[in-house]
Structure 1
Amino acid sequence: MRLRPVLAAALGSAALLCGAVAPATAASASADSVTVDPAGRLADDGTVTLSGTYTCTDATGPVFVSSSVSQESPNTRHGVGGTRAVCDGAEHHWENTGKVTSEKLKPGAAHVEATIMELRPQGVMPLPTFHAVQQQDVTLDKA
């Protein structure tokens, strides 16, 4: 009968661990927004530059504007840097640059997703809280 308490403790620990790594999805005030400029830049070496604007408020932890780009397959996204955000309610410009294997992207139509994400203190470790997300079709121009 000693196995039952051990199994219960293990299951409880697993549930606690899963709860600790699940992202927090509560968004803050509706004033939070992120935009994506209609054109990005793609250099010959695979360096991608994306940009836009953001507005956010009510942050208690560090906040970032992250971006990703896809072409042809929406299931394959390439992360393109991250910018530290200032959540003071004012509109700010963001620009992210990252290098993708040059064969993966080419000039032309692409799809970008930009996200404002906060690492909000929650107990022992900070959890991601998403303030705003924007998806937009863009054109990648030769840099």
Structure 2
Amino acid sequence: MGIHGTRMALAALSTLAATAVFTAPAGATSFDQGISVQPYGHISEDGKVTLSGKYHCTNPSPMGAKLQIAAAVVQGGTRLAFGGGEAECDGQEHEWEATGSLKFTPAVHPGPALAEAQLNEIHFSGLMPRSIDTVAEDRQEIRLIAHH
């Protein structure tokens, strides 16, 4: 017993459509988002590292999502990640700055390092985060500079 060509095409199309629906991330945005990190970071005398840059974003999905900035510096085998606060998403370019403590990562020092900046869309279920999607990212070699 053979399957008619039209039925076969319809079945294949239905399967592709279902796959597309079920593999698309829930609440994903298709808006213009971007973030960049400056080619240098600062290490203060009191043991803090600061990264900065610029970002732009539009309002996240209307289902209670928020956009937040995350930053990290990697040097040798040490990675220090820290938050940069909530993003203001009005379509305009804004500056961001994030500071992390070197208290538990004393191996981070002035010199070359890898910096990462992410713009993350956080979807909530009640008060708890349900999912986090990275909507923009920048990763580049930078120089950490000691400030006295």
Q: TM-score, normalised by structure 1?
A: 0.72
Tell me which of 89, 105, 113 is aligned to 2:108: 105
Aligned equivalents of 1:85 and 1:71: distance in 2?
Answer: 26
Aligned equivalents of 1:83 and 1:136: distance in 2?
Answer: 21
Where does the alignment leave 5 or more consecutive residues of structure 2 unmatched? 1-24
1:52 deviation in Å?
0.2
Where does the alignment leave 5 or more consecutive residues of structure 1 unmatched? 1-23
Aligned equivalents of 1:59 and 1:88: distance in 2?
Answer: 10
- Identical aligned residues as a percent: 34
Aligned equivalents of 2:34 and 2:95: distance in 1?
Answer: 12
1:27 deviation in Å?
5.5
Q: Is the 8 Å Cα contact of residues 31 and 58 (structure 2) preserved in structure 1?
A: no
Larger RCO of the pair (alpha carbons < 8 Å, separation 6+): 1
1:122 deviation in Å?
5.9
In the alignment, does 2:116 pair up with 1:116? no
1:80 deviation in Å?
2.8
1:58 deviation in Å?
3.7
Q: CA RMSD in A?
A: 2.3
In the alignment, does 2:137 pair up with 1:138? no
In the alignment, does 2:66 pair up with 1:62? yes
Q: TM-score, normalised by structure 2?
A: 0.70
SS at match of 1:95: strand
Tell me which of 118, 121, 133 is aligned to 1:129: 133
Aligned equivalents of 2:26 and 2:93: distance in 1?
Answer: 23
